Amino acid sequence: MNALLVALLAPLPRVADAPDLEPAPGIVRVELTAAPRPDGTAGFVYAYNGQIPGPTLRAQRGDLLVVELTNALDAPTTIHWHGVHVPWAMDGVTWMAEPVQPGETFTYQFALEQAGTYWYHPHFDTERQVDGGLYGALVVTDPAEPVADDDLLLVFDLPEEVMGEGDRHAHGHGHLFPTWLINGAPAPHDWTLPAGSHTRVRAVNVSGAGYLALRYSGLRQIASDQGLLAAENRRSPVVLGPGDRADFELLAGDEPIELRTLPYSLNGGRAHGDAIPLVSFALDGATDRPEPLAWPYSGAAPSPDPGHTDLLYVFTGSDRTGQWFINGEQFPDITIESLPLGADVVVELRNVSPTHHPWHLHGHAFEVLSINGERPEHQRIEDTLDVPIHGTARLRLVADNPGDWMAHCHILPHAEEGMMTVLRVGE
């Protein structure tokens, strides 16, 4: 890489972790304050503990997480634990529950039974508050997995202010490309890897409407929404819609690693143009590329598709009207579908609209049986899944968590327009 290019790259900022205020093992206790950000830049008008992204919460599988949220905003707020199987009362939704009022404190508390890369964000006036800067990551490590030399979090955001109306339009048509923020600072960035090291990169897409299609040479995806994959994925690009996560293992050998995103948009998938540089990983020294760590992949095969459908969600709407529907309905005027606790069902998502929709279900994970009829090679467990334009996804869902769970498109303007429903899981 030439000197000029190096000079243009800003070093990647690392997101500060939240200190664990509880000395006892097995409990992680943190304090988060949601407050206005007086010097708001790039459209960020709020922050948790004054930082964007908010502090990274780090815990081990099996720990009890205790988060004391203070609302110093001038509006109600909540925290939703995206992808985590929390008890319903801890889910941070305002459907049948009260938000945390300005000046109030609320304690979220739950056991972390799953390892993986999760994130947290408000679920009240969600589009405004998340776009405003209220988001952070929750990293749950698994004592059964090897530990990389570094655990590097990349939180991707595409704020509307940075995107701009003009860019937004162009992005949709695939000609010009917006600037992603990584850990709050505009890409591209550089980062130096010690030669011979292993880095676990955790990518989280918190943007309201931006799609990433990540690639780099030698790509190794090791985990997705719900932790370790059943087998390593080497296929690129790895598409991350809003709300999605993926972990990669970087092996620092004798070649720099260029992480890029292909131009990709919710209006039509892969768009024209060159890949957009995100992070340039330089090597400090040269050595042979190390062997991957011994990840305990299960190798599990996907479940068979029983062929019937228990629950059908049909997505309709159009950019022209800005109206989006699930089964012809808009939240809160919705039909609540109910499942008995423990039900093992097939859910079909049928997208008959001209836009992708990343579907997210609270309080549960689901297995992907097929997308457009194509079965995954290995068992694939997610909590957020992109349903392509005019595409169909079939899922297996075990309704193992009682409550009234939100199910919605994670494109925040779509959710705001009512592209959201409730799935009731009985006691």
Tell me which residues touch ligand C2O (CB under 6 A): 80, 82, 121, 123, 243, 360, 362, 406, 408, 410
Residue with Cβ nearer Cu ion (224 or 351): 351
What span, in angstroms and rounded, lies between the C-alpha atoms of 408 and 357? 9
CA 51/CA 264 separation, integer angstroms: 29
The interface partner of residue 408, options being ligand C2O, Cu ion, none and the CB cut-off 5 to 8 Å by kind, is ligand C2O
d(CA 26, CA 111): 10
Task: Output phi, psi for 221, to 5 deg.
Answer: -90, 125
Nearest residue (CB) to ligand C2O, 91 versus 145 = 91
Q: Which is nearer to Cu ion, 257 or 409 (CB)?
A: 409
Residues 6+ apart with CB under 8 A from 57: 17, 18, 28, 30, 65, 67, 120, 136, 137, 138, 139
Q: Binds 82, which of ligand C2O, Cu ion, none (CB < 5 to 8 A, cut-off by type)?
A: ligand C2O
Query: Could you tell which of Cu ion, ligand C2O, none binds residue 80, using a CB distance below 5 to 8 A set by kind?
Result: ligand C2O
Closest CB to ligand C2O among residues 83, 253: 83
- For residue 171, give the 3-state DSSP assignment: helix
Reading the block at residue 283, the tokens are 């090597």
What CA–CA distance (Å, rounded) separates 264 from 266?
Answer: 7
Nearer to ligand C2O by Cβ, of 362 and 414: the residue is 362
Amino acid identity at 307: G
* Residues 215 and 275: beta-carbon distance below 8 Å: yes
DSSP state of 90: G
Which partner in Cu ion, ligand C2O, none is near 411 (CB below 5 to 8 A by kind)?
Cu ion
Q: Report in angstroms how near the CB of residue 255 gets to ligand C2O at its nearest.
A: 36
406 interacts with, out of Cu ion, ligand C2O, none, CB within 5 to 8 A per kind: ligand C2O
Q: How far is the CB of 393 from Cu ion (least distance, A)?
A: 13
| φ/ψ (deg, to 5) at 164 | 75, 150
Annotate 308-326 with DSSP letters as a single string: --SEEEEEEEETTTTEEEE
Backbone angles phi, psi at 27, to 5 degrees: -130, 130
* Least gap, CB of 126 to Cu ion (angstroms): 13
Strands 181-182 and 221-224, bridge-based pairing: unpaired
407 vs 311: CA distance, rounded Å: 12
State which H helix or E strand residue 4 sits in: helix 3-8
Structure tokens at 15: 């997101």
Q: Which is nearer to Cu ion, 15 or 209 (CB)?
A: 209
Judged by beta carbon distances under 5 to 8 A according to partner kind, the member of ligand C2O, Cu ion, none in contact with residue 181 is none
Closest to ligand C2O by CB, 203 vs 251, is: 203
* Widest CA span in the chain: 63
Strands 27-36 and 46-48: antiparallel
Shortest Cβ distance from residue 64 to Cu ion (Å)? 35
Q: Which does 152 bind (CB under 5 to 8 A by kind): Cu ion, ligand C2O, none?
A: none
DSSP, collapsed to helix, strand or coil, labels residue 88 as helix
Smallest distance, ligand C2O to C-beta of residue 343, A:
21
With CB under 5 to 8 Å by kind, the binding choice for 414 among Cu ion, ligand C2O, none is Cu ion
Q: Which residue is nearest to ligand C2O (CB)?
A: 82
Given the complex with Cu ion, which of 53 and 388 has the nearer CB atom? 388
Query: Under the rule (CB under 5 A), what is the footprint of Cu ion?
Result: 357, 409, 411, 414
Instruction: Output the smallest distance, CB 418 to Cu ion, in A.
Output: 11
**Could you tell me the smallest distance in angstroms from the CB atom of residue 13 to ligand C2O?**
23
202 binds, among Cu ion, ligand C2O, none (CB under 5 to 8 A by kind): none
Cβ-based nearer residue to Cu ion, 158 or 409: 409
Neighbour count for residue 248 (Cβ, 10 Å): 23
Q: How far is the CB of 243 from Cu ion (least distance, A)?
A: 11
Peptide bond into 53 cis (omega under 30): yes
Q: How far is the CB of 95 from ligand C2O (least distance, A)?
A: 10
User: Minimum distance from CB of 351 to Cu ion (Å)?
Assistant: 9
121/189 with CB nearer ligand C2O: 121
Structure tokens at 92: 């941070």
Residue 362 binding result from Cu ion, ligand C2O, none, given CB thresholds of 5 to 8 Å by partner type = ligand C2O
Question: Which of 176, 353, 366, 144 has the alpha carbon at shortest distance from 267?
Answer: 353
